[in-house]
Amino acid sequence: MKLVALDDRAGAEGLFIGQNVTDARALVANLELREIDRGYVEQKFAEFADWHSNASPLVSILSDQAPWGDLVLDITGVEHLFGGEHAMLDMLVQRLSALGIAAVGAVAPTIGLAWALAHCTQQRVVEYDEVSAALAGLPVAALRLHSDQVERLKHLGLKQIGQLYNRDRRSLRARFGAPLLLRLDQALGHIEEQFVPRLPATEHFSERHFADPIGLIDDVLMTARDLAFRLASKLEAEALGAQTFHLFLYRVDHKVMTLSVNAASPTRDATHIARLFAYRAERLSGEYEAGFGIDLIRLGASSTSPISEQQLGAFDAEDGTSSVIELYDRMTSRLGALGVVRHSFVDSHVPERAVRLEPVIAAPIKAKPLPPIRAPRPLRLLPQPEPIEAAFAQIPDGAPPSMIWRRVHYRFVRSSGPERLRAEWSLAHKKLMLTEETANAAKAAKQLEQYYGEGRNTRDYFIAEDEAGRRFWIFREGLFEVTATPKWFLHGFFA
C-alpha cells in the first residue's frame, strides 16, 4: 500500500507521495492513516468540476491518467471576458488556492500540450506557433503514456519528446505501438482530441450573478423569466428558435444543478419558456436543494434552428392558449415526456403490438400507409389480457355461452367471431408473454418454445355480448387440435 496524499506536516517529516506505508510508519511514529474512498473522491471531484463552468461552459475531466485531478476547460472565445489568457489562468488558479486547493494550470492550443505543461513544467501560456518548440523540451512521460512504455523509451535513450520528431514513424509504431504516435499527434495538434463536456453545451445563453446568494425556488423562477426575455432577444437578433433550454444553477459551495425543458417546435417566446420552467420546477419537489445559496444562474439554449418572424393578431390573447403545441409543451414539462403520448400505428396484426405510444413532442415519423383493419376493434384494451374461465364452448370454433371474470359470472346472449390472428412467425423466438406466469413457464420448458408451433399461439377472437348489453372482446389461445387445453382471455371492451 502506498501513500497518495499528505498534509504539510507529513511532508515536512520527509514523507513523499508513492512511499510505502510500512516505510512511512517506520519513519514517523504517530502517523494517522486513512484509506482512500475512490468512488467518493471521484464523485466529489466531478461535482466540483461542474462549478468551473462559470468560467467557461465547456469543462471536462481528463481521466486518462487518473480518475480525478485533471480538468480541461475549453476557453476558445471566452478568454476576452476575463482579460486575456494570462489573466484568466491566473484568476482560475488563484481562486482555487483561495479555497485551499493547490493547482497548476497551463493554456495551450491542444489538450495534450496543456496537460504536459501543467504536469511537467510551471504555469505557461503557449501560442499556436510555439507548440512544437514547447513540446520538444518536455520528457516523454508528459505524453500520457503507460509507465512501462515510458521505461522502454528511456531504455532506448529517447528521453525527450524532441527526439521523437525526426524518427521514422513506421519503426516507432512497430516498436511502441500506435498509442505513442496518437499521443504525439494529438499533442502537436495534427489529430483532434475528442472533448466531451460534462454539462450540455449551449450555443446561446444569458446569465445573472447575485451579490447575495438566493435560495428560494420562486426567486430562481423569477430570475429565469428575466433571463428568458434576454435570451429571447438574443435569439431574435439571429432569427433563431431553440427546442431545448437548460437552466444552470451554480451554488455557493461549488455544485451545479441543471434543469432542462424541451419544446416540440423551435420557439423563442419568453413567456412560454418561463412557464415551461415553472411547471418543470413543480416536478422537482424533493431534488431541489439550494445548499448555502445560488450565486449564478445561467439560461442556455441548444438545438437551435432558424425560424421566421411571426405576425400576431391585434386582438389575440398573448397567453399561449391558442396553440395546441404549446399546450403539449406545458403538459410535457409537468408530466414528463411519457406522460403525454399519442398513438402511432405499427404494421402488426397482433392487437397489443399494433399500436405504439410515442411522446407528443417527438416529431411524428411519416410511416407508409398501413393496410386497413376491417374487423371491429374495441374501444378499450386491457394492457395485459386477463384469464377467464369459459367452459362449454362449441368445439372447434364456437364462442362460450358464459364466462367467469374477476369472480363474477356473465352470461352471453350474443356473440360473433372468430377472428383468427396467428402469432407472428418472425418473432417466434421472442414469444409474446401474456402474463408473468407464462413467462416463467416458458423459461422452464425452453426446448419446446424454440420453434414456431402452428396453432399453439393462434388466437381466435370473439365479440360477446351479455344480457345487459355490455360487449367484451375475448379470445382463445391455441387451437383445439394442437393444444390439449386452450386458455381463454379477456382483452378489451366495446362501447
Partner 1 sequence: MQGLSKQQALDQLRSRIERIEKKPPLAEASSRSTGELSLLATPRGVIHEIFGDTQLEAGNTLGFALAQSRPLLGRDRPAVIILQLGPDGRELGVPYGLGFKSFGIDPEAVVFGRMDNPIDLLWAMEEAIACRAVAAVVADIATPIKALDFTASRRLSLRAAASGCSAFLIRYTREREASAARFRWRLVSALSQPPPFDAHAPGRPRWQVTLEKGSLDGRRVSAAPGGEVFLVDWTERGLERVATDGRRGRAQRPAPLSVPLPAAMGDGLSQAS
Residues that bind partner 1 (CB under 8 A): 321-324, 327-328, 330-331, 334-335, 338-343, 345, 351, 354-355, 357, 360, 373, 376-384, 413-416, 463-465, 467-471, 492-495
CB of 403 to partner 1, least distance (A): 13
CB of 463 to partner 1, least distance (A): 6
Across-strand partners of 244?
Answer: 262, 302
Of 324 and 482, nearer to partner 1 (C-beta) is 324
Grid-cell match 476576452, residue found: 80
SS3 187: helix
Q: Is the peptide bond before 396 cis (omega within 30 degrees of 0)?
A: yes
SS3 216: coil
Of 2 and 380, nearer to partner 1 (C-beta) is 380
Distance CA 49, CA 106 (A): 17
What DSSP designation does 160 have?
A: B
Q: How many residues does the chain have?
A: 495
Of 40 and 315, nearer to partner 1 (C-beta) is 315
Amino acid identity, position 319? D
CB of 489 to partner 1, least distance (A): 13
Of 66 and 357, nearer to partner 1 (C-beta) is 357
Of 229 and 405, nearer to partner 1 (C-beta) is 405
φ/ψ of residue 478, rounded to 5: 100, 140
CB of 369 to partner 1, least distance (A): 12
Which are the contacts of 460, defined by CB distance < 8 A and separation ≥ 6? 397, 417, 418, 419, 420, 475, 476, 479
Of 452 and 493, nearer to partner 1 (C-beta) is 493
CB of 73 to partner 1, least distance (A): 41
CB of 259 to partner 1, least distance (A): 18
CB of 422 to partner 1, least distance (A): 18
Residue of 277, 218, 203 whose CA lies nearest to 247: 277
Cell numbers at residue 153, please? Answer: 523509451
Of 236 and 465, nearer to partner 1 (C-beta) is 465
DSSP codes of every residue in 351-373: HHHHEEEEETTSPPP-PPPPPPP
Measured on CA atoms in the order 92, 95, 97, 100, is the torsion positive or negative?
negative
